[in-house]
Amino acid sequence: MPQGWPAWWRRRGATARALLPLAWLFGVVGALRRYGYRRGWLPSWRAPLPVVVIVIGNVTVGGSGKTPLVLFVARALRAAGLHPGIVSRGYRRAADAPDPMPVLDATDARQAGDEPLLLRRQSGCPVWVGRRRAAVAAALLAAHPEVDVLLADDGLQHYALQRDVELVVVDARGAGNGWLLPAGPLRERWTRRRDATLGDAAVLATLSDDGAPRFALRRRLGGARHLASGERVELLELQRRHPGCALDAAAGIGDPRRFFDQLRDAGVALGHTLALPDHAAFDADPLAALNAPAVLVTEKDALKCAPGQRAFARVWAVELELDADPAFLPWLLARCAPAVRPKETVDGLPPA
């Protein structure tokens, strides 16, 4: 599964149809869970005013580019004079790591998770991780009373943390066949409540109407940073340094093929490509099998590379840059203005 999804999630074929009874059961369980939160039978936590909570997540399984958008939003909010903090699950972090815990620049990726560590180093915002989003959010606010906007990296389905704004991110895979797990890739119905949908313009045009504003995102690769020396060069310059040689690439993200395609589009001649599972650990030194004079990885994967690994001296981390529809930030900033929440949305949860 080079793109992280089984083939039957992409079409409504025989395998997907055979799994529909389980998908219906999954949908019923999810609806009952949401109903329990709305009725107050399941506890949920509301951040104190004037803190605004923004959840950035996806309706589908797997990575869809949430973390780059969290970083983009955090930087924009800081530029606007706000004080954002970030909470995250810290997927696949060590079982013995404190919970909740703050993420510092020097924190080990195995303790924090790769994405939270990337967010901490590149946003400059307070970042906390833990299994229970509400407990993590409360801990962050207690440690950083200046924070006035909480960004939840993922967490659309974590209703114990009430929210003011929900942003759904989609990637090139869209909604797949449009069916719930396990017949399809959806964690919830595509028509679930959200405040906005963001993704590539071409993908947004193919999706069924979700009743919310849509804002196009454009992701492009920036320069490359040599892990051993810290040197930064443009991708074409890196290719020119190795005339006649193909470069290797590896990625442990939701859709590795997208990274490889972006490298080719940027003019990089690729030899071997290594598609790893999202959040893959590098303890087994997976890059050791790549022998090109330069090995290109994502910034998230670069956090898990260490000097003792065989290919370390040849590894370059490729920067990812994000542009959003010019209307997006004004729209979002308007929703970050501290205000008394309307009574009809006090529970912060989507309809059943």
pLDDT in tens, 307-327: 999 999 999 999 999 999 999
Task: Kindly state whether residue 111 falls inside one of the protein's structural domains.
Answer: yes
pLDDT band at 4 (very low <50, low <70, confident <90, very high): low
Is there a domain that residue 138 lies in? yes
SS3 letters across 105-148: CCCCHHHHCHHHHHHHHHHCCCEEECCCHHHHHHHHHHHCCCCC
Name the more confident of 345 and 96.
96
Q: Which residues of 217-249 are buried (b: 16+ CB within 10 A; e: fewer)?
A: bebebebbbbbeeeeeeebeebbeeeeeeebbb
Task: Look at residue 1 and tell me whether its pLDDT is greater than 50.
Answer: no
Q: Is the pLDDT score of 346 beyond 80?
A: no
**Structural domain contains residue 352:** no
Check: CB of residue 37 under 8 Å from CB of residue 159.
yes
Clarify whether residues 213 and 225 are in a common domain.
no
Residue 332 lies in a domain: yes
Residues 234 and 206 in one domain: no
Q: Is 331 in the same domain as 207?
A: yes
Residue 282 has pLDDT above 90, yes or no: no
- Identity of the amino acid at 143: A
Residue 349 has pLDDT above 90, yes or no: no
User: What is the pLDDT at residue 345?
Assistant: 41
Residue 3 has pLDDT above 70, yes or no: no
Take residue 50 and report the two structure tokens written for it.
Answer: 């004037």
How crowded is the C-beta side of 200, counted as CA atoms within 13 Å? 13
What is the predicted pLDDT for the residue at 208?
81
Does residue 183 share a domain with residue 80?
yes
Give me the residues paired with residue 128 across strands.
87, 102
- Determine the average pLDDT of the residues in 216-221: 93
Residues 196, 77 share a domain:
yes
Same domain, yes or no: 209 and 285:
no
Sequence-separated (6 or more) residues with CB below 8 Å from residue 324: 69, 72, 198, 215, 216, 217, 218
- For residues 165 and 260, membership in a common domain is answered with no
Question: What is the reported pTM?
Answer: 0.89
Residues 331, 234 share a domain: no
339 and 275 within one domain: no
Does residue 265 sit in the same domain as residue 193? no
One domain, residues 329 and 195 = yes
338 falls in which pLDDT band (50, 70, 90)?
low
Place 333 in a pLDDT band, splitting at 50, 70 and 90: very high
Three-class SS state of 45: strand
CATH number, domain of 150, equals: 3.40.50.300
Residue 70 inside a domain? The answer is yes
The residue range of the domain holding 264 is: 220-321
201 within domain boundaries: yes
pLDDT of residue 342: 46
Residue 271 lies in a domain: yes
Look at residue 1 and tell me if it is in a domain.
no
- Are 241 and 266 in the same domain? yes
* Number of structural domains the chain divides into: 2
